Amino acid sequence: MDAGDLRVFEAVARLGAMNRAAEELHTVQSNVTARIRQIETELGTALFERHSRGVVPTAAGRRLLPYAERVRLLLAEARRVVKDDGEPAGTLAIGSLETTAGLRLPPLLAQYAAAYPAVDLSLVTGTTAALVKEVLDHRLDGAFVCGPVEHDELVEERAFREELVALTSPRIASLDALFGERDLKIIVFRIGCSYRQRLEAILAGRGLIVTRSLEFGTIEGILGCVGAGIGVSLLPRAVVAEAARDGRIALHALPPAEAQVDTVFVRRRDGFASSALKAFLALARPLRVRSEAAE
Amino acid sequence: MDAGDLRVFEAVARLGAMNRAAEELHTVQSNVTARIRQIETELGTALFERHSRGVVPTAAGRRLLPYAERVRLLLAEARRVVKDDGEPAGTLAIGSLETTAGLRLPPLLAQYAAAYPAVDLSLVTGTTAALVKEVLDHRLDGAFVCGPVEHDELVEERAFREELVALTSPRIASLDALFGERDLKIIVFRIGCSYRQRLEAILAGRGLIVTRSLEFGTIEGILGCVGAGIGVSLLPRAVVAEAARDGRIALHALPPAEAQVDTVFVRRRDGFASSALKAFLALARPLRVRSEAAE
DNA sequence: CGCTCGCAATGACGATTGGTTATAGCTGCG
DNA sequence: CGCAGCTATAACCAATCGTCATTGCGAGCG
pLDDT at A192: 64
pLDDT at A78: 95
Nearest nucleotide relative to B15: CA against C1': D6
| C-alpha dist (Å) from residue B269 to A11, B117, B164, B261 | 30, 26, 29, 23
Nearest to A71 among B43, B44, B75 (CB): B75
The percent of chain B in helix, strand and coil, each rounded to the nearest 5, is 50, 25, 30
Separation of alpha carbons A235 and A240, rounded Å: 7
Write out chain B's pLDDT in tens, 295 residues: 899 999 999 999 999 999 999 999 999 999 999 999 999 999 999 999 998 888 999 999 999 999 999 999 999 999 999 999 899 999 999 999 988 998 899 999 999 999 999 999 999 988 899 999 999 999 999 999 997 999 999 999 999 999 999 999 998 888 888 877 777 889 988 766 778 888 888 888 888 888 888 888 778 888 988 998 888 999 999 889 989 999 999 999 999 988 999 999 999 998 789 999 999 999 998 876 444 444 4
Q: A38-75 pLDDT, tens per residue?
A: 999 999 999 999 998 899 999 999 999 999 999 999 99
Nearest to A82 among B45, B74, B78 (CB): B45
Report the gap between the CA of B289 and the closest CA in chain A (Å).
31
Give the B window 132-191 contacts with A, CB below 8 Å: none
pLDDT at B192: 64
pLDDT at A181: 76
Backbone conformation region of residue A179, classed left if phi is above 0, alpha if psi is from -120 to 50, else beta = alpha
Pick the residue from chain B with its C-alpha nearest to A81: B63
Please enumerate in sequence order all residues whose Cβ is within 8 A of that of B12, keeping only pairs 6 or more positions apart, or say none. Answer: B18, B21, B32, B36, B48, B55
pLDDT at B77: 94
Across the interface, do B64 and A78 touch by the CB < 8 Å criterion?
yes
pLDDT at B294: 44
Q: 3-state DSSP call for residue B45? A: coil
Residue pair B148/B257 in contact (Cβ under 8 Å)? The answer is: no
Report the gap between the CA of A49 and the closest CA in chain B (Å).
15
Residue pair B184/B210 in contact (Cβ under 8 Å)? The answer is: yes
Question: B244: burial class by Cβ within 10 Å (0-12, 13-18, 19+)?
Answer: middle
Separation of alpha carbons B151 and A230, rounded Å: 59
Across the interface, do B71 and A67 touch by the CB < 8 Å criterion?
no
> Count of A–B CB contacts within 8 Å?
74
Pick the residue from chain A with its C-alpha nearest to B270: A270
Q: Which portions of chain A are predicted below pLDDT 70?
A: 191-192, 288-295
Separation of alpha carbons B71 and B73, rounded Å: 5
**How many Å from the CA of B18 to C1' of D7?**
8
